[in-house]
Amino acid sequence: MRRAGAGTEYEGFCVDMLRELADILKFRFHIRLVEDGLYGAPEPNGSWTGMVGELINRKADLAVAAFTITAEREKVIDFSKPFMTLGISILYRVHLGRKPGYFSFLDPFSPAVWLFMLLAYLAVSCVLFLAARLSPYEWYNPHPCLRERPHVLENQYTLGNSLWFPVGGFMQQGSEIMPRALSTRCVSGVWWAFTLIIISSYTANLAAFLTVQRMEVPVESADDLADQTNIEYGTIHAGSTMTFFQVSPLPLPTPV
């Protein structure tokens, strides 16, 4: 239905079908909406509501709508051939999820994974520092040309450098500090392999989190509908769907 100027125009499948019938059978029609907005259901006093009541009371000659053919309605009005076959479906608004926040870059991994990564970083830094201190190959003379200081040796893996070297490997940027001893090279190789796996997994998960909206289906059956409280549900009063749940021989959840 749409309003055009001073009048109201109706459009849709049922209206197009009514116009086609009017052209074939050569009759004129005037569209009027039912007053109570119902399809039609019997009342305790024997009367009918909605479009069915309008037809019975001869307030309308023809009713056009996609309403269900039931045994009760067929007793009082005549239906045309069905032009649409439908079942009972559940319509609900799709939850689009929350918008990315300031800390959305942490979502690809769980808090436990981030904690273990931090512990692994500290452990590798400590092992690298101890291995460099214990290995003689990591001690060298920074000024070999000075004869007055021939026995002065230094170790490039200070505590600060030991903490900085794993960070460079984790960021895949490398470092000017290169391991000399076999022990420090083994520790560095293990850390590089670990960071390669972690970075690859993080990149793949981050792309999925930021570009793909994961659609969750909270309701797939009447049981799911009855077991949740977030989605409010209902049917048209005195409609065929409401009658189905009232007289259905199938076992239905009690809340429904």
pLDDT tens digits for range 222-253? 777 777 777 777 777 666 777 777 776 666 55
- Of 66-75, 83-92, 95-104, 196-205, the one with minimum mean pLDDT is 95-104
Place of tokens 């709508």: 65
Looking at the chain, which residues constitute the CATH 3.40.190.10 domain(s)? 2-74
- CATH superfamily, domain 2-74, is Periplasmic binding protein-like II (3.40.190.10)
The model's confidence at residue 220, banded by pLDDT at 50, 70 and 90, is confident
Residue 242 belongs to what H/E stretch? helix 240-247
**CA–CA gap between residue 182 and residue 195 (Å, rounded):** 20
What is the CATH number assigned to the segment(s) 104-211? 1.10.287.70
- Of 14-23, 114-123, 233-242, the one with minimum mean pLDDT is 233-242
- Binding site, annotated residues for L-glutamate: 68, 73, 240-241
Terminal Cα-to-Cα distance of the chain (whole angstroms): 33
Q: What is the mean pLDDT of the chain?
A: 81
The model's confidence at residue 201, banded by pLDDT at 50, 70 and 90, is very high
- Give this prediction's pTM: 0.47
> Cα separations (Å) of 70 from 52, 53, 60, 82?
12, 15, 20, 12
DSSP class of residue 142 equals S
- Of 53-67, 72-86, 94-108, 136-150, the one with minimum mean pLDDT is 136-150
Read off the pLDDT of each residue in 65-91 and give the average, rounded to a whole number: 83
Query: Residue 128's closest CA among 167, 170, 163, 172?
Result: 163
Looking at the chain, which residues constitute the CATH 1.10.287.70 domain(s)? 104-211
- Binding site, annotated residues: 68, 73, 240-241
**Chain-centre distance of CA 231, in angstroms?**
15
